[in-house]
Amino acid sequence: MRVIRAPTLARAHELVVKMILEKGYVLDTEEGEATVEFEETAITVENPFAEPMGSDRSRFGTRFLRSYADALLHGSEAIFEYDYHGRLYDWGQGLGMEGTEVHADQVAYIKQKLAASPESRRAVAVTWNPPVDESLRDCPCLQLVQCVVRDGALAMKVVFRSNDMLSAAGANMYALAHLQKEVADSLGLPCGPYTHISLVPHIYYIRDAADIPPFCKEGSEIRPIPEVCRACGRCPRSQGD
């Protein structure tokens, strides 16, 4: 597992994109989409609210990040096959237990567990629902959220089964850090480290070719593998110069 430690979420985003573009390997997904993939990676930011939280190299600016975080924390009227707010605050998706629908507010559970037992390692929320997700085309990438109280602060660790590190990870980290703050505030604690684990980090290097140049800077800061450069085609390096 590769480990990235960064002073801000924005810098963490830039470093993981650089690593994948330079060291990754190409692989088509089961839906036939071209990706450059890398081994499992853990990103840790000691102070997730240090600025900048969002990289100015990403096409998703602060307004989008705030909207995405708000949807995760408070829900949205948009309709998707799943959403993280529903999976974290109202897990169940129509399942029943002894004739009663399951509605599990896992964030409330985390808050209650840590309020009662600050040393607990059981303050965990999951998103995966086998009867539902095994048949979904678009199933949750985020799998697990764990909060722990250590050294007088609330730390959060999250696990993604798969993570689009170019287009999605910046917003994922920003929103989940705000979830961390919600839990921390409820306990009267500061936010501690945020750790973001991706088991299969990847970049859609053809679909999102237009988003690569701001990170790459025409090869002056990142020297991607040849397949990425050819797909991008926006600088002399892509022509083999």
> What is the tens place of the pLDDT at every residue in 77-127?
766 667 999 999 999 987 777 778 889 999 999 999 999 999 999 999 999
**How confident is the prediction for the chain on average, in pLDDT?**
94
Give the per-residue pLDDT at 80. 65
Say if CB 164 and CB 202 are below 8 A apart.
yes
Token code pair at residue 72: 């995760």
Give the per-residue pLDDT at 238. 66
Provide the 10 A C-beta neighbour count for residue 171.
21
> What is the tens place of the pLDDT at every residue in 147-161?
999 999 999 999 999
pLDDT (mean) for 52-74: 96
* pTM of the shown model: 0.94
Residue 141 falls in the annotated catalytic set: yes
Say if CB 88 and CB 124 are below 8 A apart.
no
DSSP state of 52: P
> What is the tens place of the pLDDT at every residue in 165-202?
999 999 999 999 999 999 999 999 999 999 999 999 99
Q: Which of 152, 76, 148, 75 is nearest to 113 (CA)?
A: 148
Say if CB 88 and CB 127 are below 8 A apart.
yes
Question: Beta partners for 183?
Answer: none
What is the CATH architecture assignment of 2-90+102-239?
2-Layer Sandwich (3.30)
The residues near 183 (Cβ < 8 Å, ≥ 6 apart) are 107, 110, 111, 114, 147, 154, 156
Token code pair at residue 30: 């089961």
Task: Please pick, among 139, 141, 147, 216, the residue that the annotation labels catalytic.
Answer: 141
Q: For residue 202, give the 3-state DSSP assignment.
A: strand
What DSSP string runs through 83-130?
-HHHHHHSBTTT-EETTEE--B-HHHHHHHHHHH-TT-S--EEE---H
Distance between CA atoms of residues 179 and 205, nearest Å: 30
Residue 240 pLDDT grade (very low, low, confident, very high; cuts 50, 70, 90): low
Judged against a pLDDT cut of 70, whether residue 137 lies above it is answered with: yes
Distance between CA atoms of residues 211 and 167, nearest Å: 8
Say if CB 168 and CB 204 are below 8 A apart.
no
Residue holding tokens 């949750």?
140
Token code pair at residue 171: 């917003």
Q: For residue 151, give the 3-state DSSP assignment.
A: coil
Say if CB 203 and CB 166 are below 8 A apart.
yes
